[in-house]
Chain A
Amino acid sequence: DVVMTQSPLFLPVTLGQPASISCRSSQGLVFSDGNIYLNWFQQRPGQSPRRLIYKISERDSGVPDRFSGSGSGTDFTLKISRVEAEDVGTYYCMQGSQWPWTFGQGTKVQIK
Chain B
Amino acid sequence: EVQLVESGGDLVQPGGSLRLSCAASGFTFGNSHMHWVRQAPGKGLESVSAISSSGGNTWYSNSVKGRFTISRDNSKNTLYLQMGSVRVEDTALYYCAREIKGDYDLWGQGTLVTVSS
Contact = CB atoms under 8 A, between A and B. Distances in A.
Interface of A: 1, 31, 35, 37, 39, 41, 48-51, 54-55, 60, 92, 94, 96-97, 99-106
Nearest to A95: B102
B103 A51 contact: yes
B84 to A, nearest CB: 19
A48 B61 CA distance: 21
B47 A103 contact: yes
A16 to B, nearest CB: 28
A46 B100 CA distance: 24
Contacts of B62: 1, 100
A37 B110 contact: no
Contacts of B102: 31, 35, 37, 39, 54-55, 96-97, 101
Contact of B61 (A50, A92, A100): A100
Nearest to B47: A101
Contact of A37 (B45, B46, B59, B101): B101
A49 B107 contact: yes
Given A31-B102, A99-B50, A99-B59, A105 B107 contact: no
Interface in B99-117: 99-105, 107-110
A13 B60 CA distance: 38
A94 to B, nearest CB: 7
B103 A50 contact: no
Interface string B54-84: 0000011110000000000000000000000
Contact of A48 (B60, B100, B107): B107
B106 to A, nearest CB: 8
Contacts of B109: 48
B92 to A, nearest CB: 13
B103 A96 contact: yes
A89 B60 CA distance: 28
Contacts of A48: 95, 107-110
Contacts of B45: 41, 49, 92, 94, 103, 106
10 contacts: A37-B103, A51-B103, A51-B104, A55-B103, A92-B44, A94-B103, A99-B50, A99-B59, A101-B102, A103-B45
